[in-house]
Amino acid sequence: MKRAWVFGQTAVLVFDWYEPDPAGPEHGVRIEVRLLRDCGARGSPSAAQEIVIDRPLFRADLFDLVAGEPGNFARAHYHPSFEGGEGGGGVGVGVEPSEREWDGELSAHPFAWLAGRLSDLEAIVAAADAAGTAGAVDPEGLAADAAALREVVAEVVAAAETVMARVRSRAAG
């Protein structure tokens, strides 16, 4: 199951992930910040509108090494940007994650690290170079999305903790 928080032009996704890495499989919770694709209005003002959660901007992978003790977060890393490939949003929309970035704080305090990162949506967008690459980020809308995300950061982090607990429970069972 994927959980999504959808704002004016961005969304945050939380879901479980298993990575069959040759150096040792890893599993945990994946958190992505993405841009919405503008699909234009359709039908009457009361009509259901299309929402497409498209271009990835940021990904945090709070992963345990499967062979280790639960809670080891030995493979916790993040991807500050995406590039290459063809996304559904058109030419130049990057869908391939940048190289893994490692941060000692992320492994030591993953959920606090996540809360801090999600509390600064403007920095996430700047690191992804979304405005320069896609020209799709409206600064006023971004400010509104950032404020709305800060209001629900605790909820997003709690969902990530719940997903991680389920991943570990499945692995133990």
Residue 87's pLDDT is what? 53
Give the residue with greater pLDDT, 69 vs 93: 69
Q: How many domains does the chain have?
A: 1
Residue 84's pLDDT is what? 72
Confidence (pTM)? 0.91
pLDDT beyond 70 at 37: yes
Expressed as residue numbers, the domain containing 161 is: 3-172
Query: Mean of the pLDDT values across residues 47-76?
Result: 94
Q: Which two tokens stand for residue 156?
A: 């997003």
Q: pLDDT tens across 72-108, in order?
A: 999 999 999 998 765 554 444 589 999 999 999 999 9
- Terminal CA-CA length for the chain: 19
Query: Mean of the pLDDT values across residues 23-35?
Result: 95
Q: Check if the beta carbon of residue 13 is closer than 8 Å to that of residue 53.
A: yes
pLDDT beyond 60 at 59: yes
11 vs 4: CA distance, rounded Å: 7
Give the residue with greater pLDDT, 51 vs 173: 51
Q: Please say whether the dihedral angle defined by the alpha carbons of residues 28, 33, 37 and 42, taken in this order, is positive or negative.
A: positive
Q: pLDDT tens across 111-159, in order?
A: 999 999 999 999 999 988 755 554 678 889 999 999 999 999 999 999 9
